[in-house]
């Protein structure tokens, strides 16, 4: 089963870093967040990835072109211009990087991956979020429900505190907004049947979330896998710093390797 990863957006809310590299290549603990996502899937035996690139896709291509080299010791014979690799620590991944266009919307990027999917059920996620989702349990849920799409429903962190006011508009207390107070949101980590590709209207302007998912929801073809554990999307520099702190502390919920 292939893993499709949306990795083509501009990352405007984290622009200080995404001007240099695409958002999925921003590093957490010395590794791109894209790598962290792939490692999570790999630990469940999913090692065939399709990265749907766009903005600064050249950075993603170069990273994987050099990956085996940078994960190995080498012996170079300058007389013959030959190189021997040994002691490699590279992961057993097959990585396809598709150039889907800088301005293409999410649905269009997925549509362009149809040939790579090859008519099989596929996994899908975003290139900017990590979680401790049990991928095998997610897949089993999808099989049991029999819908075209299963998405992972998560409870987002409360970003803002709430003010309690009296009848004269005086502040009486401050209260932190509880996690999940406003219900679940789409946390990504999808399982999709190949028929979903036929529901995407075109390979440039279609938006997966608004166009495709909303239509499939009306048809009753989306199941929600409830995830109660850790989930965080790297939208801002503050999010990046929070994830880096977790990684460096060793209390890193998404790490299962």
- Is position 176 within any domain? no
pLDDT in tens, 237-247: 999 999 999 99
- Is position 110 within any domain? yes
* CA 89, chain centre distance (Å): 23
Q: Band of the pLDDT at 28, cuts 50, 70, 90?
A: very high
Per DSSP, the three-state class of 201 is coil
Q: How far apart are CA 66 and CA 179, in angstroms?
A: 41
Report the CATH number at residue 244: 3.90.550.10
Q: State the chain's mean pLDDT as an integer.
A: 91
- Is position 162 within any domain? no
138: region left, alpha or beta (phi > 0 left; psi from -120 to 50 alpha):
alpha
pLDDT in tens, 122-134: 999 999 999 999 9
pLDDT mean over 187-206: 94
The share of the chain scoring above pLDDT 70, in percent, equals 88
- Is position 117 within any domain? yes
The pLDDT value given to residue 237? 92
Residue with tokens 């406003």: 182
pTM of the model: 0.89
* Domains in the chain, number: 1
Give me the long-range contacts of 90-96 (CB less than 8 A, separation at least 24): 91/38, 91/39, 91/42, 91/47, 92/42, 92/47, 93/38, 93/42, 93/47, 93/48, 93/49, 94/47, 94/48, 94/49, 95/49, 95/51, 95/64, 96/49, 96/50, 96/51
- Is position 18 within any domain? yes
pLDDT in tens, 150-170: 999 998 876 555 566 667 756
Residue 151, both tokens: 């998405």
- Is position 50 within any domain? yes
pLDDT in tens, 174-190: 665 555 555 789 999 99
Which residues have CB under 8 Å from 185's CB, separation 6+?
Answer: 153, 154, 155, 156
């Amino acid at each position: 089963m292939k893993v499709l990863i949306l990795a083509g957006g501009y990352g405007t809310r984290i622009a200080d870093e995404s001007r240099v590299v695409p958002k999925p290549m921003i590093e957490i603990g010395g590794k791109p967040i894209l790598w962290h996502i792939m490692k999570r899937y790999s630990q469940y035996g999913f090692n065939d990835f399709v990265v749907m690139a766009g903005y600064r896709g050249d950075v993603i291509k170069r990273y994987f072109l050099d990956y085996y080299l940078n994960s190995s010791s080498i012996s170079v014979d300058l007389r013959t211009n030959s190189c021997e690799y040994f002691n490699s620590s590279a992961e057993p991944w097959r990585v396809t990087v598709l150039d889907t266009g800088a301005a293409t919307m999410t649905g269009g990027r997925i549509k362009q991956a149809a040939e790579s999917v090859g008519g099989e059920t596929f996994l899908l996620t975003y290139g900017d979020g990590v979680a401790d989702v049990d991928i095998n349990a997610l897949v089993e849920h999808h099989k049991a429900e029999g819908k075209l799409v299963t998405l992972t429903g998560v409870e987002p962190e409360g970003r803002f505190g709430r003010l309690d006011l009296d009848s004269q508009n005086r502040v009486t207390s401050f209260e932190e907004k509880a996690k999940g107070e406003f219900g679940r949101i789409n946390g990504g980590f999808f399982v999709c049947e190949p028929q979903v590709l036929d529901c995407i209207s075109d390979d440039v302007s279609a938006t997966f979330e608004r166009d495709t998912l909303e239509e499939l929801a009306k048809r009753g073809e989306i199941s929600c896998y409830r995830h109660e554990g850790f989930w965080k999307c790297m939208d801002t520099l503050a999010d990046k710093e929070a994830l880096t702190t977790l990684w460096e502390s060793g209390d890193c919920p998404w790490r299962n390797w």
